Every structure is written in C-alpha cells, then in structure tokens.
Amino acid sequence: MAQPVLLDYKHHSDTRIITDRGIKYGENIHFIPVIADEVRALAIAYPICFLKDNNTGQFGLNVLTGFEAAENLFLQNSEWRTHYVPIHLRRQPFIVGVTEDGAKPSSDNTVLTLDMDSPRVNKEQGERLFDDQGKATDYLNEMLDLLGQLVSGNNRTEVFINALLEHDLIEQVQLTITLADGQQKRFDGLYNINETNLKALTGSALEQFHSKGYLQACYLIATSMGNIQTLVKWKKEAK
C-alpha cells in the first residue's frame, strides 16, 4: 500500500526516480484510468471505454490494455508498444495529496507527495528531483506539470461524463473474443458511447457538445473500440 510523503529538499535531496517501464513497476494492469484531455492521443492505439465503480456507481474513463488481471498487452518486456503512455502511469510514483479532508482536488488544495514504497524510488539510479542548489530539476517540474494536468483533467472528465449521462449517451457493450485455442471468452462491465442517441442530438444540446469538443471526443471514443482487434492479435501471439 502506498505511503505518500510530502516532497521537500531536506528529506529528498539525494532521492532518484527510475523512469523505465515494466511489470516490476506495477504496469501489468489491464485497465488504466485516463482523462478526457488524453482522448485524441489515446484513440489512435487504445480501446477507450467507461467503467462503473461498483461501490459508488460512478463512471470513469479508462483504456483497456488486456483481458484479464495482471495482463498488459501494450507492455512487451520493458518497452511500450505505442507512442503514448497514459498520464496515470507516467506520473508515478508521485501522488496528488489533498490538504482539505473530503474536498475535491483542485489547484488550490493539492500538494505533491511521493510514494516511498515504490520500486522506482531509490538513491542510486534514475532522475534527480533537486539539483545541487536545491532547485527542482526539469524532471520534477515535468512531474508537477503532469500532476496539474491530472487534477484539472479529472474535474473536466467528470463534467464530460455527467453531460453524457444527462443525454443517455453511455451504454453497456458486450465483448466476446476468440482465443488462440478457439475458446470464446466474454467480458462484461464495459461501457461505450450510444451512437444512436449521439446522432439524435439536436438544438442547444448538439451545439453545446460541438462547442465543448464533446462531439469529437464521443466519436473518437466510439471508434477506438476497433483497437480491441489489435489486443486480440497480441493475445493470440502471446500463447
């Protein structure tokens, strides 16, 4: 379990972060949370879908990277098989800390914390966090920027999803794949865009979706599900 601590020069002057990719860094996951700001970059290679939190009933935006727990077909040894790695993975082992209990994270109430239990954290190799004068390195500034994108992006994604729900634009999809041995496997719990209802938008709703970029995002998310075929191919090749 992560044990985040506040980041400061006094305690982390000699801390380094390994930025390699790989299973050893917890990247063997079959779903990765993403934000709406990433949709354009993600849709080229990833199947993008919505998942419902069983505890809260709230929807979140995710990419599908495998078909079973601890399977990431985009990860081949220590290499990523596409140009874009989601922010959720790139920002690790840094975590957004909220200074107000129960408050929604925003630019005014968040701080940068570091998961000291992460295998990326060490003192021998990787990127430094502070230079010899105690100033943040370019790498740390990049991580600060990523965390900022994540905080604001999560809020915008929530607004986007609420707009989709308001117009009944999220529907459950049935996914069945055929494995290398001919066995069929069915996956439930995936949701995507209801294209019939999307095409039926008119008037102010259609104008709003167009002006906010929601219309383009919806079509990108819907068409991205075709990328599942690439995952099926990689799944068969792995056997």
Alpha-helical segments (H) within the chain: 9-12, 39-42, 87-90, 138-166, 195-199, 203-211, 214-224, 228-238
What sign does the dihedral 51-198-217-208 (CA atoms) show?
negative
Name the range with the highest mean pLDDT among 8-17, 37-46, 230-239.
37-46
**Confidence band, pLDDT 50/70/90 cuts, at residue 2:** low
CA 65 from chain centre, in angstroms, equals: 11
Angle between helices 214-224 and 138-166 (to 10 degrees): 90
Q: Return the domain boundaries, the chain.
A: 4-238
Q: How far apart are CA 158 and CA 177, in angstroms?
A: 30
Q: What pLDDT, in 10s, does the model give residues 174-186?
A: 888 887 777 788 8
Closest CA to 12 of 121, 174, 168: 121
Q: How far apart are CA 106 and CA 100, in angstroms?
A: 10
Omega before residue 47 within 30° of 0, cis: no
pTM: 0.92
Average confidence (pLDDT) over 137-154: 94
Residue 107 has a pLDDT of 65
Please give, one letter per residue, the 3-state secondary structure of 105-123.
CCCCCEEEEEECCCCCEEC
Cβ pair 123, 16 in contact under 8 A: yes
Q: How far apart are CA 34 and CA 62, in angstroms?
A: 5
Cβ pair 43, 82 in contact under 8 A: no
Q: How far apart are CA 108 and CA 99, in angstroms?
A: 9
Q: What pLDDT, in 10s, does the model give residues 25-42?
A: 999 999 999 999 999 999
Q: What pLDDT, in 10s, does the model give residues 61-92?
A: 999 999 989 999 999 888 999 999 999 999 99
Geometric angle at alpha carbon 217, from 167 and 85, rounded to 5°:
135
